[in-house]
Amino acid sequence: MKKNLVTRSLIFQVAVFFLLGVLTTGAITYITQHIRSNNTVNQQTESFAAKISDEVRLSMQEYPAYEWLMQHWISHSKDLEIEYDVEYGQNTKTEEKCRILEERHPGIQLKYLTTEALEEMSPEDQKLYAEIAYSWMITRVNQIKRCYKMNFLFCVLTDRECTTQFFLFSAADPGAKRGTNYEEVYTLGTRVEVAQSQQEAMLAAIENHAHLADAGSYEDYYALLSILNDHPILIGLTYSVEELRGQISANTWRGTTYAAVLQVVLSAICLTLIFYFVLLPLNRVGHNIQIFRQTKDGETVSKNLESIRTHNEIGVLATDVGDLAKELSDHINRIETITAERERIVTELNLAARIQAAMLPSVFPAFPDRSEFDIYASMDPARDIGGDFYDYYLIDDDHLAIVIADVSGKGIPAALFMMASQILLANNANAGKSPAQILADTNNSICSHNREEMFVTVWIGILEISTGKLTAANAGHEYPVLRKANGSFELFKDKHGFVIGGMEGIRYKEYELQLDPGDKLFLYTDGLPEATNADEKMFGTDRMLVALNRSPDSAPERILASVRRAVNFFVKDAEQFDDLTMFCLEYKGKNPKEE
Amino acid sequence: MLHIEKAVENGTAVFKLEGRLDTVTAPEFESELINTLDGAENLVLDFERLDYISSAGLRVLLTTQKKMQQKGTMKLLHVCDAILDIFEVTGFTSILNIE
């Protein structure tokens, strides 16, 4: 038996599906987190930068005279002697300058000098104050840069087109080298060409008051501080976002990993549930189907499947398969019974056919010790059991009875009817009755018990062997064929009575024929003329006579064989529905030896 | 093999047969007759297109003839020569009403 094996388990397919799901959602989670992180970085950076630039601006604006100061720093940038990183309390130059000014202007509040107070001072004192304020300012900006870990923090004066920039402040860590060269921290008044990318950012900042430019791991931010004589003053700052991005990236990875792990765990739980609640029961159903295929025991299989007590689709399937198995095994049992029954019937039919065949005399030569006549007969049933029969027997030493008959219908009913008819005819013949009387008596016997309205056509003849006188009667049977010695076979249109079994009280007429030595009598049933070929044409009596006359002098056996060949040639492979029975008698007359 | 056309009018059933009435088709014809004849007094069988009748067909005719004799008539119309020969040989001409 073919065993259907599971070569690719469902659990494997579902697992692959889950894995793909985990990968897909993982990727989507990572991408969305990444986009959100980027946005966060940008937002944070921008607000951070805005706060720093605000702080720088507020530090400036603490000085009431900050506009005068800026004006002074710009116009006297070359003359000012500036200390770029003041270490307070260390007797620095700036502290010295403060003392000088305080001595010259007792009670002065250096931080809160107004423009008016400054205007009244001597140019020397104004220069001193500008130097002091610048040093304080740059020190403050340096501190801011350090506090916020900026890469660059500067303040520039530029033109409307932002082609050149004039450095006001550039914050630096303590000890940094200051100067006007590219690698140095620019001093006050350093004039530098603006690079193109920087120029765009600066123009945007002038227009929008602030602008953030993302340069990968760096962020550049410009904010407009004020506009001095149509020259914009910008605060610029640059700082690294690498660390921030690294943190966010790590968070993103962590979040994604958590989500993925959670999904894997859920998938595993799902797979386990599927395995226990779907696959195991399904496997059991499959296993029981295999068992059923081997044992055909529906009762056991149904009982096995009852233990799958779920009320879901699987449970219903298991119950249905169990019921199906039970019905199937019932059905198989029924078929086995029917088959056994049929086999018994076939056996009985074969036996019946053999009994029927044995009823027909079939040993030839029929009467080896009688030389006055020769007989040959054959019966080919269309089915296993036929309704045709022939018979011949000696009633006494000088009288031979010959019968050929055809029962209406086919099969077992016809065979039973045939047996009854044959025995009744033989009994009446052996009682010494004449052919007409035999038929009449047989008819009456059959009619009295014939509920099924069956009938039989019979030709019966009694030959007086010594004289060749044949007395015959015909109850609805085919015309006999007669061949006078040296003549040809011809139909003998005898008088017909009604079939036997059709109606009670029928009288039959009989007639006499004189057979001379060499004469032949050929009898047949309608299966011969009505043998039909594939074109629905019948063999007919004309073809029958032609076949008979092909070798009219042959012995009866050869004549029958010749007719049979002619019929076979005519019908070819077409199936025949009627029995075919033939009988031939050759009268030879008295044995010359006995005379 | 056998085509049966039937009509019942005023207690007369008319059957038109076409084809062969043999072992294979006779049971069908017989059951058609049984179904129809309960309500009919007279029966007309039109054999114009019937080509062949076997002993099984003759049996049906005999049964039907006996049944119809008790309550009415049975007539056969347009019987062809081949079938007439069969009726002659089997003696059915003496019991059937052939027109």
Helix axes B26-37, B55-71, angle to 10 degrees: 10
Task: From A210, A245, A280, give the residue that closes a domain.
Answer: A245
Look at residue A412 and tell me whether its pLDDT is greater than 50: yes
State mean pLDDT over A39-53: 84
Two structure tokens written together for A134: 């610048």
Look at residue B90 and tell me whether its pLDDT is greater than 50: yes
For chain B, give percent helix, strand, coil, nearest 5.
40, 35, 20
Predicted confidence at residue B18, as pLDDT, reads: 92
Look at residue A8 and tell me whether its pLDDT is greater than 80: no
Tell me if A410 and B23 make a contact (CB, 8 A cut-off): yes
- Does residue A508 belong to any structural domain of this protein? yes
- Does residue A257 belong to any structural domain of this protein? no
Candidates B18, B90, B94, B95, partner chain A, best to mutate (most A CBs within 10 A): B90
State mean pLDDT over A387-409: 92
In this predicted model, what pLDDT tens digit does every residue of B12-26 receive, in sequence order?
889 999 988 887 888
In angstroms, rounded to a whole number, what is the distance separating the alpha carbons of residues A354 and A448? 29
CB-CB neighbors (< 8 A) of B59 in chain A: 408-409, 453-455
Provide the 10 A C-beta neighbour count for residue A128.
Answer: 21
- Does residue A344 belong to any structural domain of this protein? no
Instruction: Note whether A396 and A465 are within 8 A (CB).
Output: no
Among left, alpha and beta (phi > 0; psi -120 to 50; other), residue A505 is left
Length of chain B: 99
Look at residue A594 and tell me whether its pLDDT is greater than 90: no
Two structure tokens written together for B29: 């014809």
Predicted confidence at residue A453, as pLDDT, reads: 81
- Cβ pairs A/B, distance under 8 A: 67
Predicted confidence at residue A269, as pLDDT, reads: 93
| Domain of residue A550, CATH code | 3.60.40.10
How far away is chain A from the Cα of B74, in angstroms, using its nearest Cα? Answer: 16
CA nearest to A478 within chain B: B89
The three-state secondary structure class of A586 is: strand
Look at residue B93 and tell me whether its pLDDT is greater than 70: yes
Indicate the pTM of the whole model: 0.58
CA nearest to B89 within chain A: A476
Strands (E), A34-183: 152-158, 164-170, 178-179
In angstroms, rounded to a whole number, what is the distance separating the alpha carbons of residues B78 and A93? 153
Two structure tokens written together for A489: 């076979």
- Does residue A540 belong to any structural domain of this protein? yes
Residues 6+ apart with CB under 8 A from A458: A403, A404, A405, A421, A425, A439, A442, A474, A475, A476, A477, A500
Look at residue B82 and tell me whether its pLDDT is greater than 90: no
Look at residue A440 and tell me whether its pLDDT is greater than 90: yes
In angstroms, rounded to a whole number, what is the distance separating the alpha carbons of residues A223 and A237? 9
CA nearest to B85 within chain A: A478
Q: DSSP letter at A496?
A: -
Look at residue A155 and tell me whether its pLDDT is greater than 80: yes
CA nearest to B91 within chain A: A498
State mean pLDDT over A34-52: 83
Predicted confidence at residue A595, as pLDDT, reads: 42
Residue identified by tokens 């209406």 is A408
Predicted confidence at residue A544, as pLDDT, reads: 93
- Does residue A322 belong to any structural domain of this protein? no
- Does residue A274 belong to any structural domain of this protein? no
Predicted confidence at residue A384, as pLDDT, reads: 65
Percentage of chain A lying above the pLDDT 90 cut: 33
CB-CB neighbors (< 8 A) of A477 in chain B: 89-90
In order of A23, A24, A264, the CA distances from A261 in angstroms are: 11, 13, 5
In this predicted model, what pLDDT tens digit does every residue of A541-591 receive, in sequence order?
899 999 999 988 999 999 999 999 999 999 988 887 778 899 999 999 876
Q: Under an 8 Å CB criterion, which residues of B touch A?
A: 20, 22-24, 51-52, 54-56, 58-59, 62-63, 66, 88-92, 94-95
- Does residue A319 belong to any structural domain of this protein? no
Instruction: Note whether A219 and A213 are within 8 A (CB).
Output: yes
Domain with A130 in it = 48-245
Look at residue A113 and tell me whether its pLDDT is greater than 90: no
Look at residue A510 and tell me whether its pLDDT is greater than 60: yes
Cα-flanking dihedrals φ and ψ of residue A404, to 5°?
-135, 140
Nearest CA among A472, A497, A465 for reference residue A482: A472
- Does residue A587 belong to any structural domain of this protein? yes
Tell me if B63 and A455 make a contact (CB, 8 A cut-off): no
Give how many domains chain A has, as a whole number: 2
Provide the 10 A C-beta neighbour count for residue A574.
Answer: 14
State whether the Cα torsion A184-A185-A188-A192 is positive or negative: positive
How far away is chain A from the Cα of B34, in angstroms, using its nearest Cα? Answer: 14
How far away is chain B from the Cα of A456, in angstroms, using its nearest Cα? Answer: 9
Task: From A228, A245, A262, give the residue that closes a domain.
Answer: A245
Tell me if A526 and B54 make a contact (CB, 8 A cut-off): yes
Instruction: Note whether A222 and A241 are within 8 A (CB).
Output: no
In this predicted model, what pLDDT tens digit does every residue of A93-105 receive, in sequence order?
888 898 898 888 8
Task: From A245, A274, A297, give the residue that closes a domain.
Answer: A245
Look at residue B96 and tell me whether its pLDDT is greater than 70: yes
Predicted confidence at residue A404, as pLDDT, reads: 96
CA nearest to A538 within chain B: B52
ipTM of the complex: 0.82
Instruction: Note whether A558 and A489 are within 8 A (CB).
Output: no
Specify whether domain B2-94 bears CATH 3.30.750.24: yes
Q: Please return the burial class of A325, using the count of CB atoms within 10 Å of its CB with bins 0-12, 13-18 and 19+.
A: buried
Domain boundaries, chain B: 2-94
Look at residue A471 and tell me whether its pLDDT is greater than 60: yes
Of residues A6 and A420, more confidence is placed in A420
Predicted confidence at residue A569, as pLDDT, reads: 92
Mean pLDDT of chain A: 88
Tell me if A476 and B94 make a contact (CB, 8 A cut-off): no
Two structure tokens written together for A193: 């060409």
pLDDT tier, A383 (very low <50, low <70, confident <90, very high otherwise): low
Predicted confidence at residue A514, as pLDDT, reads: 94
Residue identified by tokens 């980027």 is A38
Tell me if B55 and A406 make a contact (CB, 8 A cut-off): yes
